[in-house]
Amino acid sequence: MPAKLVIILSFIMLYAIALQGQAPPFKRPIPGNERTETDSLPPAKPFSGSISATSNLDSIKISGDALDDQIDYSAVDSMYFDIKNKQIHLYGQAEVKFQTMSMQAHYILIDWKESTMSANGEQLPNGEWLGKPHFTEGAQDFTTSSMKYNYKTYKGVIYDSQTKQEGLNIVGEKGKFFGAGTDSTKSNVIYNKNAIFSTCDLDHPHFGIRSNKQKIVQDKVAIVGPCNLIIGDIPTPLWLPFGFFPLKLGQRTGLIFPQNYQYSEAWGFGLDGVGYYLPINDNMDLQLTSDIYLKGTFRLHALSNYRKRYKYSGRANLDFAYQRTEDSEGIISHQPSGSLQWSHNQDAKAHPYRSLGGSINIQTGNYQRSNRTDAAARLNSSLSSNMSYRQRFDKPFDLSAAFSHSQNTNTRNVTISFPTVNFQTQNLFPFKRKVKTGGEKWFERVQMRYTSEARNQFTAKDSTLFTQATLDSAKFGLRHNVTASTSFNLLKFFNFSPSMSYKEVWYFKTQDKTFDPSLTIQMDTTWNDDSTEFQVTNDTTNFGHIVTNENWRFKPLRQYNAGISMSTKIFGTLLFKKGKIRGLRHVITPTFGFNYTPDFTNPDWGYFKTVQKDLREDEQLRYSIYDNNRISGFEQPSTSGKQMAVNYGFSNLFEAKIFSKRDSTLKNVKLFNSISLNGNYNFAADSLNWSTVTIGGNTNFFNNLTSFRFGIVLDPYDFDRSNGRRLNQLNIETNGKLLHLTSWNTTLTTNITVNRLRDLIKGEDTDKKVANRPRTDDEEGTDANIANLEGPEDFLSLFENFSIAHNFTLSQRYYTNVGKDSIAITTHTISSRGTIKLTPNWNINVGNFGYDFQSKRITYPDFSFSRDLHCWEMGVAWQPQFGSYSFFLRVKPGKLDFINIPYRKGIQDSSGFGGF
């Protein structure tokens, strides 16, 4: 080494000693050599220094072998400069930095003669490491027990190394490191001997793929020679001649290993989840997978996720299943089914006037129940979709187009409305003055609004949804609605609200019915024993029939009505000076109104016609010409006749003021959320002018654990005991009573959660706690967030995410078949669902477990157990009603999650068993 550089290093050493104000440190042996002396130096501040080729000593010439960049080094304990051997020894939390490289260890040796750095850790008697070397070169980093690195050639030797590459933990016995240095066109490369790949992050992984030779190219690929799967240091019979593991950052194209391997008696051996992943671009990807069975059954899945920041995000899932089964008699059956799920959300900042969003969930062939056995799939009987595009204009107009759908998985009926186009105005005030002088006039509050809707609707079974017959049976129409209303106060306390509306529906398809007097005669022939004809009997089974003819023509339906209502509020308060109840409050809101609607059954309107029913009778059947074009949400002609009705209603609210001895405060409690009474009197009716009187109410008990609802129907008219029809005789005239009870019902619903139960005991309001809890923008202050409230650690904490629901409905009505009133329990069920966390690693999930007291049966139990095994997971699921179950022992999701031991018995192999 040049003598000038030695002089520079000597100055640096003397300068460091002067700064510390103490004698030069004792020479310390390199870890690994025997040493008996005790360090008597007091704790000192960290030493630091640098070796630089760009010194300020301009008069000194630097050798051409000198470094291009500065080496920064430091140590907490001490530093020892060995000038003779041209070495620097760093002790205690030593650190060296050079260009893009950094090294930390308990002990580091810098040898400027060999241009190398050596690092060692110290293993304590209990097996723990003190200052285990950690090396970083650019984006590559690893830890070792010891290493040696040449900072000129960027090469090194590492022992017992551990590095993480894109979710893989790579542990090697001995390796060679070839760094890229400052060359951005090269990649860091590690050659390992006797190394193991694993997704377990421990220094000694629980499992992995072991090979004698490995090559790791940073952020690109890991290549292994002959390799063997080991579990718990025990080799398995599974060997591979070679392997490639992609380490490229970000999305990349590649094969998807099967997620499950299973055998089904009905379908044969199968692979689940084998497929291909394709990143379309930076904003969208596509995953294609399939479930394939040897006996012909298969499923196809397409899943795509997309997201554009500050614009939109969404997810689409398309599934198709083809099930081929053969029974014991050799009869083969085929069942195709499909499912489409799509959700799209537009960011609120994307556009101020335009939005597109919603979700679609539609199935054919009862896909959900044919391919899944969990409680959510079996008990959910309704599916719905709503995807809409909305455009707002500068003027008060809105335009929207939507796709909507409803589906019942029990009846398998599907209704699709597409397209549905809506145009509407905001509330318009045509009489509002532009320049106001004085106060607001009553006519300035008159508001008008126009809405229109065009809809095309299909109705079919889910198995015939995409057929030509379904398309041919489409129903379509255009609806217009104009409303006008206002409100004003009279005598300060009375609010009057007059209103009127005009509705016009454009139908393009109607029907006419005619009577065909043709007789239907059935002939029955009796034969003799010698096969000769004995007797012929004729029987007329049909005395004519009705023929329906469909007409394609434009026929609008027009309806209008007008009315006025008056309401006020009456307050009653009763206060007490002592006791727990300090006050009672009763608020009555009476409402009276008048409504007029013409008689649309009049033949002059042309909405209704009559047709003969039978040759033997003159009775005529009245029908609507729009019966063949019924569209959900669109008006049909009213059959109630002319209405000139006075409406009345009374809404009641009962509250109490409760005194709390705990904090000497008063709290308002609703005794009843609402109790209402409603009815009307129709002046235009020729009979039965009075309507029935309906009474309803609801309240909550026990911190909203239980809700109570009731409904009562009273009738001022008597009725026929043989058929239950109302008679045009007031009940007070026949029975001496103003009203008689027609029917009543009451519903009691209880939903028990641990947090609500705790707060009930403490006297706290759970709903207020949820509303006041800080939360992120994507959370809602509903019962779904109650489980997020922190509670004390006790036995009940096991059931934080568990709920028990009880539903009870009791009703009474008059049954004509028995000629008397009957009380019946129409609903009585109890169910539970949720997760029980027994330990940090053990979980019990109850998808559903309940009992129906009416049918006296358990309602679809669904249980699953799971165990967290650090880098593995184990689980069991069981649905007793169909005798289906599954078991898995697998690696947690990651690059090696294809290591899986599954077993499953699906619904296709089970026949259920008694008791459920």
Q: Determine phi and psi for 21, rounding to 5 degrees.
A: 65, 35
Predicted confidence (pLDDT) per residue in 698-749, tens digit:
999 887 889 999 999 999 999 888 888 889 999 999 988 999 998 999 999 9
Query: From CA 34, how far away is CA 11, in angstroms rounded?
Result: 31
Q: Considering only 55-59, 512-516, 634-638, 812-816, which range has the smallest mean pLDDT?
A: 55-59
pLDDT grade for 793, boundaries at 50, 70 and 90: low
User: Which of 182-186, 434-438, 780-784, 821-825 has the highest mean predicted lDDT (pLDDT)?
Assistant: 821-825
Instruction: Supply the pLDDT for residue 866.
Output: 94
Count the neighbouring beta carbons within 10 Å of the beta carbon of residue 824: 12
pLDDT at residue 690 is higher than 70: yes
pLDDT at residue 29 is higher than 70: no
pLDDT grade for 87, boundaries at 50, 70 and 90: very high
What would the mean pLDDT of 456-474 be, rounded to a whole number? 89
Paired with 343 in beta bridges are: 315, 359
| CB hemisphere CA count around 441 (13 angstroms) | 13
What would the mean pLDDT of 756-781 be, rounded to a whole number? 63
Q: Which residue type does 747 have?
A: T
Using DSSP's 3-state secondary structure scheme, residue 733 falls into helix
> Average pLDDT over the chain, rounded to whole?
84
What whole-number percentage of the chain has pLDDT above 90? 46
Using CB atoms within 10 A of its CB, is residue 362 exposed (0-12), middle (13-18) or buried (19+)? buried
pLDDT at residue 770 is higher than 80: no
Instruction: Supply the pLDDT for residue 265.
Output: 84
Instruction: Supply the pLDDT for residue 633.
Output: 85
Count the neighbouring beta carbons within 10 Å of the beta carbon of residue 330: 6
Using DSSP's 3-state secondary structure scheme, residue 329 falls into coil
Query: From CA 785, how far away is CA 776, in angstroms rounded?
Result: 11
Count the neighbouring beta carbons within 10 Å of the beta carbon of residue 616: 8
Q: In 3D, which of 300, 290, 303 has the Cα closest to residue 260?
A: 290
pLDDT at residue 14 is higher than 50: no
Instruction: Supply the pLDDT for residue 301.
Output: 96
* Antiparallel, parallel or unpaired: β 134-137 and 47-51: unpaired
- Residue 434 contacts by C-beta under 8 Å, 6 or more apart in sequence? none
pLDDT at residue 5 is higher than 90: no
pLDDT grade for 914, boundaries at 50, 70 and 90: very low
Predicted confidence (pLDDT) per residue in 419-437, tens digit:
999 999 989 998 888 877 7
Instruction: Supply the pLDDT for residue 37.
Output: 38
| Token pair belonging to 321 | 């299943």
Using CB atoms within 10 A of its CB, is residue 766 exposed (0-12), middle (13-18) or buried (19+)? buried
Q: Considering only 243-247, 351-355, 580-584, 832-836, which range has the smallest mean pLDDT?
A: 243-247
User: Which of 591-595, 671-675, 847-851 has the highest mean predicted lDDT (pLDDT)?
Assistant: 591-595
Contact 879, 824 (CB under 8 A): no
Buried b (16+ CB within 10 A) or exposed e, 125-147: eeeeeebbbbbebbebebbbbbb
pLDDT grade for 246, boundaries at 50, 70 and 90: confident
Instruction: Supply the pLDDT for residue 293.
Output: 92
Q: Which residue type does 112 have?
A: W
Count the neighbouring beta carbons within 10 Å of the beta carbon of residue 571: 9
Instruction: Supply the pLDDT for residue 763.
Output: 67
Enumerate the H helices of 528-575 as residue ranges. Answer: none
Contact 119, 135 (CB under 8 A): yes
The better pLDDT of the pair 690, 838 is held by: 690
Contact 842, 873 (CB under 8 A): no
Query: From CA 165, how far away is CA 221, in angstroms rounded?
Result: 9
Q: Is 173 left (phi over 0), alpha (psi -120 to 50) or beta?
A: alpha
Q: Which residue has the tokens 């012929």?
A: 536
Instruction: Supply the pLDDT for residue 504.
Output: 95
Cα–Cα distance list, 893 to 167, 422, 623, 896, 902 (Å):
10, 46, 63, 7, 15
> What is the H or E stretch that residue 43 is in?
none
pLDDT grade for 26, boundaries at 50, 70 and 90: very low
Instruction: Supply the pLDDT for residue 58.
Output: 57
Q: Considering only 36-40, 148-152, 465-469, 705-709, which range has the smallest mean pLDDT?
A: 36-40
Q: In 3D, which of 598, 613, 601, 608 has the Cα closest to residue 562?
A: 598
Buried b (16+ CB within 10 A) or exposed e, 175-203: bebbbbbeeeeebbbbbbeebbbbbbeee
| Token pair belonging to 868 | 């967290």
Using DSSP's 3-state secondary structure scheme, residue 713 falls into strand
Instruction: Supply the pLDDT for residue 530.
Output: 63
Query: From CA 798, how far away is CA 754, in angstroms rounded?
Result: 9
> What is the H or E stretch that residue 633 is in?
none
| CB hemisphere CA count around 633 (13 angstroms) | 19
Q: Considering only 362-371, 479-488, 815-824, which range has the smallest mean pLDDT?
A: 815-824
| Token pair belonging to 48 | 């630091």
Contact 99, 23 (CB under 8 A): no
Q: In 3D, which of 877, 872, 895, 897 has the Cα closest to residue 887?
A: 877
Instruction: Supply the pLDDT for residue 442.
Output: 82
DSSP, res 31: B
pLDDT at residue 362 is higher than 70: yes
pLDDT at residue 92 is higher than 50: yes
Q: Determine phi and psi for 796, rounding to 5 degrees.
A: -65, -20
Q: Determine phi and psi for 472, rounding to 5 degrees.
A: -70, -25
Instruction: Supply the pLDDT for residue 522.
Output: 67
Predicted confidence (pLDDT) per residue in 96-146, tens digit:
998 888 999 999 999 988 889 999 998 888 888 899 999 998 778 889 999
pLDDT grade for 485, boundaries at 50, 70 and 90: very high
Instruction: Supply the pLDDT for residue 20.
Output: 41
Helix, strand, coil percent content, the chain, rounded in steps of 5? 10, 60, 35
The better pLDDT of the pair 7, 739 is held by: 739
* Antiparallel, parallel or unpaired: β 129-130 and 168-178: unpaired
Q: In 3D, which of 209, 149, 152 has the Cα closest to residue 182?
A: 152
pLDDT at residue 809 is higher than 50: yes
Buried b (16+ CB within 10 A) or exposed e, 404-424: bbbbebeebebbbbbebebbe
Query: From CA 82, how far away is CA 489, in angstroms rounded?
Result: 100
Strand ranges in 241-331 using DSSP code E only, listed in sequence order: 243-246, 254-256, 260-264, 268-281, 284-293, 298-308, 312-326
Instruction: Supply the pLDDT for residue 69.
Output: 77
Q: Is 170 left (phi over 0), alpha (psi -120 to 50) or beta?
A: beta
pLDDT grade for 883, boundaries at 50, 70 and 90: confident
Q: Considering only 216-220, 285-289, 791-795, 859-863, which range has the smallest mean pLDDT?
A: 791-795
Contact 634, 627 (CB under 8 A): no
Instruction: Supply the pLDDT for residue 28.
Output: 40
Q: Considering only 299-313, 401-415, 544-558, 772-786, which range has the smallest mean pLDDT?
A: 772-786
| Token pair belonging to 771 | 């509303």
Instruction: Supply the pLDDT for residue 24.
Output: 36
DSSP, res 3: H
Q: How far is CA 245 from the centre of its chain?
A: 33
> What is the H or E stretch that residue 581 is in?
strand 581-597
Contact 501, 451 (CB under 8 A): no
- Residue 891 contacts by C-beta under 8 Å, 6 or more apart in sequence? 199, 207, 871, 872, 873, 897, 898, 899, 900
The better pLDDT of the pair 396, 65 is held by: 396
Q: Considering only 180-184, 272-276, 306-310, 860-864, which range has the smallest mean pLDDT?
A: 180-184
Contact 426, 396 (CB under 8 A): yes
Paired with 658 in beta bridges are: 581, 667
Contact 514, 490 (CB under 8 A): no
Using DSSP's 3-state secondary structure scheme, residue 7 falls into helix
pLDDT grade for 50, boundaries at 50, 70 and 90: low
What whole-number percentage of the chain has pLDDT above 70? 85
